[in-house]
Amino acid sequence: MEYRPGTGYSLPGRHESFWMATTAQTSHPPLSGDLETDVAVIGGGIVGITTALLLKRAGYMVTVIEADRIARGVTGRTTAKITSLHRLIYAELIDRFGSSQAKQYADANQAAIDTIASFVREYDIPCDFVRKPAYTYAESEEERDLVAAEADAARSLGLPATFVEDVPLPARTYGAVRFSDQAQFHPLRYLLYLASLIPGDGSRIFEKTRALEVQDGGGWCAIRTENGIITSRAVVLATHYPFYDSPGFYFARMEPSRSYVIGARIDEPFPEGMFINADGPVHSWRSQPAEGGELVLVGGMEHRTGEQVDTRRHYRDLEAYARSVYPIRSVDYRWSTQDYITIDGVPYIGPLADGHENVYIATGFRKWGMTNGTAAAMILADMILGRANPWAEVYAPDRFKPAASARRFLVHNIEVAERYIGGVISRPAGDLRDVAPGEGRILMIEGEKTGIFRDHEGRVHAVNPTCSHLGCIVAWNSAEETWDCPCHGSRYDPDGKVIHGPAVRDLKPRGG
Ligand code: FES
């Protein structure tokens, strides 16, 4: 019997993204047999769908394949702020990259807002798109200097930034940087509309089709999937994290991070704007029109994927924080998401690596996927079409800024090594009888390390906890009831089925 996650423990709200709960699931067929196309796009989120549409509009035949259903992955779990205000980033970017490249990042994200707006206008997409200001607010006197400096840095790059004293949230604040004319929307209504424009004239979408391997033969690429081989002139890896990393380049340069969202009702109108705090644990706010009245989306409480704690506490902490700011009438939804953060904080967008010029990646959006993801699609489409792109340099995957990156690079690799080695040599204690309903643990059973989950009906689900990607030991995520890998963020359901890459193979069954 298929296991249904998220049942049986008392956390607030329905355990489902509001975006997914309010859109119908798609039903594109799986690939059946081999095919040839101009460009193959792996992944049906905002990067993959937008890239495919831009290329189709330019006259290319595109094929999108998605391991599950399109727009049900990370794009379906965002807070869907369409803004170039990325908490605090511009002062840091100028420092690390110089003004010229910092401006490329700023311009790319502003252009992404305009591109989304123009698609909404051109196709008259009913997706609750609305322009709003975005704020990054200070919660202390020290942070006030940071947000003031950010306002100066952003304005120097031509962004619509001002420092404001008053923040229209009932929280204690000390000023904010405010960007005017930003936007928000219902991301799935938007993306599913774009996706509906792709099939036809030789272009296709296939769901339930997992890519297993990519080969770049120089001029032609081949993707081996579960259901056939696709050959194409170019491949776009729009899988959030590149499952294919032949040079071994990316796995060591990004860290996976999880964060949480609740959808709550309050008894007063939410202020005009989208909000995020400047420092410390993330507190993010926006509102969303919904049946039965406005929903307030509160997000944050991020942590590294695969941490060895009861992750349910993050939902509880988020709810407690929200209640400290607003009287909450009800919490109607809760969900979580995963992001990747690069060593220097800027996404990798462009050719995968030397010798793989026909395979393109877009990853590491640092939780700002609506604009960085749309900008990625614009950059990759330009590259594939042979057009110059004015923002490609700052995002180039082969950049390396030792001064900016070295410390974090080293710390990240040591952390991954410790998790791998720690997972391999530690001998977990405990007994099957100690595992309560709803709990997951790693136990030694008959001399083998075993991932045990006892479901809410008392049935035991047992897996080999060695991640099928590169062999780290997975950890139990109690909030989502999944096995999560601390090394590169692969995630599996209680029976070991892959639900998030880079892994493409399931966990082996116990003893396998
Ligand atoms: Fe890379 Fe698990 S995700 S080892």
Give tens-digit pLDDT for 261-273: 999 999 999 999 9
Region 297-319: mean pLDDT is 88
Pocket test for ligand 1, best of 490, 498, 500 (most atoms within 8 A of CB): 490
Q: Which residue has the higher pLDDT, 119 or 455?
A: 119
Structure-token pair, residue 476: 């139990």
Mean pLDDT value across residues 360-371: 94
N-to-C CA span, the chain: 21
pLDDT at 7 over 50: no
The CA 381 to ligand 1 mean position distance, Å, reads 30
Q: Which two tokens stand for residue 244?
A: 């294919």
Contacts of 212 (CB under 8 A, 6+ apart): 224, 225, 226, 504
- Shared domain for 241 and 367, answered yes or no, is yes
Structure tokens at 430: 């405990």
Q: What is the pTM of this model?
A: 0.90
In a domain, 93, yes or no: no
Ligand 1 neighbour 254 (Cβ under 6 A): no
Look at residue 414 and tell me whether its pLDDT is greater than 80. no
- Ligand 1 atom nearest 503 alpha carbon: 3
Which pLDDT tens digit goes with each residue over 137-159?
Answer: 999 999 999 999 999 999 999 99
Q: What pLDDT sits at residue 2?
A: 31
Q: What is the CATH number of the domain that holds 56?
A: 3.50.50.60
Alpha carbon separation from 415 to 37, 253, 427 (Å, rounded): 41, 12, 19
Contacts of 390 (CB under 8 A, 6+ apart): 104, 107
Provide mean pLDDT across the span 349-359. Answer: 86
pLDDT for 406 beyond 80: no
Q: Whose CA is nearest to atom 4 of ligand 1?
A: 470
Give residue 242's pLDDT band: very low, low, confident or very high (50, 70, 90). confident
Upstream peptide bond of 502 is cis (omega within 30 degrees of 0):
yes
Residue at 103 is within a domain: no
Residue 53 has pLDDT above 80, yes or no: yes
Tokens of 194: 């774009």
pLDDT recorded at residue 126: 98
How confident is residue 30, by pLDDT bands cut at 50, 70 and 90? very high
Give the residue from 359, 388, 403 where a domain finishes: 403
Give CA–CA dist 194/125, Å, rounded. 9
> For ligand 1, atom 1, which residue shows the shortest CA distance?
488
Structural domain containing residue 449: 426-500
Q: Determine which of 47-56, 80-89, 296-305 has the lowest per-residue pLDDT on average.
A: 296-305
- Whether residue 352 is found in the same domain as residue 464: no
Residue 439: which CATH number? 2.102.10.10
Distance CA 52, CA 205 (A): 10
Q: Which atom of ligand 1 is nearest to the CA of 420?
A: 4
- Is a pLDDT exceeding 90 seen at residue 408? no
At 500, give phi and psi (nearest 5°).
-155, 130
Q: How many domains is the chain built from?
A: 2
Mean pLDDT of the chain: 90
Q: Rounded to an integer, what distance in angstroms lies between the CA atom of residue 287 and that of residue 109?
A: 22
Cβ atoms of 230 and 40 closer than 8 Å: yes
pLDDT: is 174 or 500 the higher one?
Answer: 174
What confidence tier does 348 reach under pLDDT thresholds 50, 70, 90? very high
472 lines ligand 1 (CB under 6 A): yes
